[in-house]
Amino acid sequence: MSNATNVTGRPGTAREKILNAALTVIRTKGFNATTVDDLCAAAGVTKGAFFHHFDSKDALGVAAAEHWSRVTSAFFAEAPYHRHDDPLDRVLAYFAFRRDILQGELPEFTCLVGTMAQEMHQSSRAIATACDASMSGHAATIEPYVAQAMEQRGLDPSGIHTGWSAGSLALHMQAVLQGAFILAKAKGGPGVAEESVDHLSRYVRLLFANHPKKGKAT
Amino acid sequence: MSNATNVTGRPGTAREKILNAALTVIRTKGFNATTVDDLCAAAGVTKGAFFHHFDSKDALGVAAAEHWSRVTSAFFAEAPYHRHDDPLDRVLAYFAFRRDILQGELPEFTCLVGTMAQEMHQSSRAIATACDASMSGHAATIEPYVAQAMEQRGLDPSGIHTGWSAGSLALHMQAVLQGAFILAKAKGGPGVAEESVDHLSRYVRLLFANHPKKGKAT
DNA sequence: ACAAACATACCAACCGGTTGGTATGTTTGT
DNA sequence: ACAAACATACCAACCGGTTGGTATGTTTGT
């Protein structure tokens, strides 16, 4: 009944342990197939502790999506792709980075909020909204790089192509990654996902192909 | 105990009714959240009939994926995009078609096997394999169009680009669509999905941009 | 030609185990 | 002293699957 207040969550507390357990367990089994007892066992806490910190399993789902946002934000903030001078290089390096981290077992490189959105979009709009916030929030961190590259290279998509924006391209990147995860899950390995990221990188390179940096004409 | 034999499935039988119900119910609720009773209620049959035709809920999942393959094969076989003379036009018209059918409620245009693969890949490899067969099987129906377009226009991806094939591009298309569905589910509407399909179409056009049909140089 | 034997398709009632959640404590930090 | 943070014990509802049975064919031996 006391909930939603302890946003900080001191490390080592039951809340933090449950949240961290949720990231791996839900990615492995999916949200519906994950029982509250699974979560408690993985976190090493009792059910009483669980329902002290979360009003319901759904509330844990929302909190897990938010926790995922924090964890991945920190993870991507430290990634090397930000360090390039050229905005387009940053975007391209982002793809290389996303390709590099496609390692280990499926639950390790797969996306929690993509999984939960797929499963819960009809039964819990609260969870779906939290998942959307997480995915769109991540897209919003690369959107400025895309926008900068477009501006710097004089790429105006509304004129030349059918009409798109830095935002729609950033969201499309997330769609490709989410879809790549699904194929990887179906096939049982990351191979297909790597190829899809390659196609995505190739797409962006082609978009900018005739738009070199400064005033160098083709 | 008698099972796996009646592959044809006479229409109107309990088996057919359960299978058809499964397509919509599982797309709406997901596989785990769908109970056997849900399926029986939607199909208008009893549980006894269900377990007469399917050994287990998982077996129904596999059969549903196979049923989905049959239904979608027939659906796409009748679609207009096959009727273009030029192979590249067929691929482009395929995208337009996929974009056009993004209508109605989410469970209506969303993919059963993508949903099931996501949810069941760890708990039932049999289901995941059936889902992979369905998605890869569909990709295999457009792969020849891509290959024909490449050959006709002299596009050799192993030389010019990083290295890709008609097969990997066809699979990438499925990844984009699957990912678009996830974003649509998270956001609660098909808007994002349409934009992703547009990006995909633009990608393929760019791939062939400098490769006109006959001998017309740029 | 016909009945016994068998198969298929289905149904209503039931069962053991699981699941999210609750009620009632006890511990711990300030 | 008191509230936040847990732990223990427990429950009602639900869920996949089973059981015993019926109705309606189909096959087979004579």
Arithmetic mean of pLDDT, B174-201: 97
Arithmetic mean of pLDDT, A114-130: 96
**A10-66 per-position pLDDT tens digit:** 446 889 999 999 999 999 999 999 999 999 999 999 999 999 999 999 999 999 999
B197 near B95, Cβ under 8 Å? Answer: yes
A85 CB contacts (<8 Å, ≥6 apart)?
A: none
Residue B28 at interface with chain A, using a CB cutoff of 8 Å: yes
- How far is CA A200 from its chain centroid? 16
Judge residue A158's burial from the number of C-beta atoms within 10 Å of its C-beta, 0-12 exposed, 13-18 middle, 19 or more buried.
Answer: exposed
A174 near A139, Cβ under 8 Å? Answer: yes
Residue A104 at interface with chain B, using a CB cutoff of 8 Å: no
Residue A24 at interface with chain B, using a CB cutoff of 8 Å: no
**B3-57 per-position pLDDT tens digit:** 333 333 344 588 999 999 999 999 999 999 999 999 999 999 999 899 999 999 9
How many Å apart are CA A147 and CA B90, to the nearest integer? 32
Pick A175's closest partner by Cβ from B164, B183, B206: B183
The per-residue pLDDT for A111 is: 98
**B63-78 per-position pLDDT tens digit:** 999 999 999 999 999 9
How many Å apart are CA B77 and CA B123, to the nearest integer? 32
Nearest to A115 by CA among A64, A56, A170, A44: A64
Nearest to B145 by CA among B76, B58, B217, B70: B76
Residue B70 CA and nucleotide C23 C1' are separated, in Å, by 53
The per-residue pLDDT for A51 is: 94
Residue A188 CA and nucleotide C14 C1' are separated, in Å, by 39
How many Å apart are CA A100 and CA A198, to the nearest integer? 11
A66 near A15, Cβ under 8 Å? Answer: no
Arithmetic mean of pLDDT, A96-109: 96
Strand D bases, protein C-beta under 7 A: 4-10, 14-21
Residue nearest to nucleotide D4 (CA to C1'): A2
Residue B128 at interface with chain A, using a CB cutoff of 8 Å: yes
Residue A131 at interface with chain B, using a CB cutoff of 8 Å: yes
- In the predicted model, is pLDDT for residue A151 greater than 80? yes
Question: How far off is chain A from B35, nearest CA to CA, in Å?
Answer: 12
The per-residue pLDDT for A215 is: 52
Split at pLDDT 50, 70, 90, the class of A103 is: very high
- In the predicted model, is pLDDT for residue A4 greater than 50? no
Q: Which range, of A69-73, A156-160, B162-166, B180-184, averages the lowest pLDDT?
A: A156-160
Q: What angle do CA A155, A157, A160 make, to 5 degrees?
A: 90
Pick B123's closest partner by Cβ from A33, A193, A196: A33
The per-residue pLDDT for A211 is: 82
Q: Which A-chain residues 156-175 have CB contacts (< 8 A) with chain B?
A: 161-162, 164, 168-169, 171-172, 174-175
The per-residue pLDDT for B11 is: 43
The per-residue pLDDT for B160 is: 56
The per-residue pLDDT for A12 is: 65
**Chain A residue with minimum CA distance to B126:** A186
**Chain A residue with minimum CA distance to B178:** A179
How many Å apart are CA B155 and CA A26, to the nearest integer? 43
- In the predicted model, is pLDDT for residue A74 greater than 80? yes
- In the predicted model, is pLDDT for residue A9 greater than 70? no
The per-residue pLDDT for B2 is: 33
Pick A182's closest partner by Cβ from B118, B185, B202: B118
The per-residue pLDDT for A214 is: 64
B127 near B120, Cβ under 8 Å? Answer: yes
Nearest to B86 by CA among B211, B217, B218: B211
Query: Is residue A51 within a helix (H) or strand (E), and if so which, with residue range?
Result: helix A47-53
Residue B32 at interface with chain A, using a CB cutoff of 8 Å: yes
**B91-120 per-position pLDDT tens digit:** 999 999 999 999 999 999 999 999 999 999
Arithmetic mean of pLDDT, A145-171: 88
Q: Which residues of B touch A175 (CB under 8 A)?
A: 176, 179-180, 182-183, 192-193, 196
Average pLDDT, rounded, for chain B: 90
The per-residue pLDDT for A210 is: 83
Arithmetic mean of pLDDT, A190-216: 89
First CA to last CA across chain A, in angstroms? 65
Arithmetic mean of pLDDT, A193-202: 97
Residue B213: what residue type? K
